[in-house]
Chain A
Amino acid sequence: MSKTITIDGKTIPFEDGQTIMDAAMAADVYIPHLCHQPEYTPHGSCKLCTVKVNGRNCSACTFPAMEGQEVLSETKELIDDRKKVTQMLFVEGNHFCPSCEKTGNCQLQGVAYHLNMLDNHFPLFYPDRAVDASHPEVMIDHNRCIFCTLCVRASQQTDGKDVFAISGRGINKHLIVNAQSGLLKDTDLDVNDQAAHVCPTGAILIKRTGYQVPIGERIYDHQQIDQVSLAKEHLNHGE
Chain B
Amino acid sequence: MYEHLETAENRDSLKRVVVDPVSRVEGHGKVTLLLDADNKVKQARLHIVEFRGFERFIQGRPYWELPVLVQRLCGICPVSHHLAAAKAIDQLVGIDPENLPVAADKLRRLLHFGQVLQSHALHFFHLSSPDLLFGFESEISKRSIVAVLAEFPELGVQGVKLRKYGQEVIRMVSGKRIHGTGAIAGGMNKSLTKAERNYLLEDIDQMISWSAASVALIKKVHCSNLPYYDDFATIRTNYLGLTKPDGALELYHGGIRAKDEHGATIMDHIDYCKYNDYIHEEVRSWTYMKFPYLLSRGQENGWYRVGPLARVNNCDYINTPLAEAARVEFKAHSGEAMVHSTLAFHWSRLIEILHCAESIKDLLHDPDIMSSDLVAQGEKRYEGIGVIEAPRGTLFHHYQVDENDIVTKANLIVSTTSNNMAMNESVRQVAAEYLSGRELTEPLLNNLEVAIRAYDPCLSCATHAVGKMPLKLELINAEGQLIDQLVKHTNGQIERLNA
Contact = CB atoms under 8 A, between A and B. Distances in A.
Interface of A: 98-99, 101, 131, 133-134, 139, 207-217
B62 A139 contact: yes
A214 B189 contact: yes
A101 B64 contact: yes
Interface string B359-370: 000000000000
B64 A210 contact: yes
Where chain A touches its partner, the secondary structure class is loop
Contacts of B190: 214, 217
Contacts, number: 55
A209 B181 CA distance: 13
B404 to A, nearest CB: 4
B97 interface: no
Contacts of B189: 211-214
Given A99-B69, A101-B64, 15 more contacts: A99-B72, A101-B65, A131-B61, A131-B406, A133-B62, A133-B404, A134-B404, A208-B93, A211-B67, A211-B68, A212-B184, A213-B189, A214-B175, A214-B181, A216-B175
Contacts of B72: 98-99
7 contacts: A98-B179, A133-B405, A134-B404, A207-B64, A209-B64, A214-B175, A215-B181
A133 B10 CA distance: 56
B65 A99 contact: yes
Contacts of B174: 215
B262 interface: no
Interface string B179-204: 11110110001100000000000000
A101 B64 CA distance: 9
A208 B405 contact: yes
B471 to A, nearest CB: 31
Nearest to A99: B69
A99 B64 CA distance: 11
B110 to A, nearest CB: 15
Contacts of B182: 214
Contacts of A131: 60-62, 406
A191 to B, nearest CB: 14
B62 A210 contact: yes
A217 B189 CA distance: 11
Given A99-B65, A139-B62, A207 B405 contact: yes
Contact of B68 (A101, A134, A139, A209): A101
Given A99-B72, A133-B405, A213-B189, A208 B65 contact: no
Contacts of A211: 64, 67-68, 181, 184, 189
Contacts of B65: 99, 101, 210
B406 A133 contact: yes
B187 to A, nearest CB: 10
A209 B375 CA distance: 12
A101 B61 CA distance: 12
Nearest to A132: B404
A210 B182 CA distance: 11
A209 B186 CA distance: 12
A216 B190 CA distance: 10
Nearest to A141: B62
B176 interface: yes
A156 B68 CA distance: 35
Q: Which among A101, A208, A213 has the highest number of chain B CB atoms within 10 Å? A: A208
A56 B406 CA distance: 48
Contacts of B93: 208
Interface string B369-389: 000000000000000000000
Contacts of A212: 184, 189
Nearest to A207: B405
A215 B180 contact: yes
A131 B68 CA distance: 18
B182 to A, nearest CB: 7
A101 B174 CA distance: 15
B53 to A, nearest CB: 14
A41 to B, nearest CB: 32
Contacts of B68: 98-99, 101, 210-211
Contacts of A214: 175, 181-182, 189-190
A131 B179 CA distance: 24
A55 to B, nearest CB: 46
Nearest to B63: A208
Contacts of B69: 99
A212 B188 CA distance: 8
Contact of A208 (B60, B67, B176, B185): B185
Contact of A215 (B60, B175, B185, B406): B175
Interface string B70-83: 00100000000000
Given A99-B68, A131-B406, A212-B189, A207 B62 contact: yes
Contacts of A139: 62, 405
A31 to B, nearest CB: 31
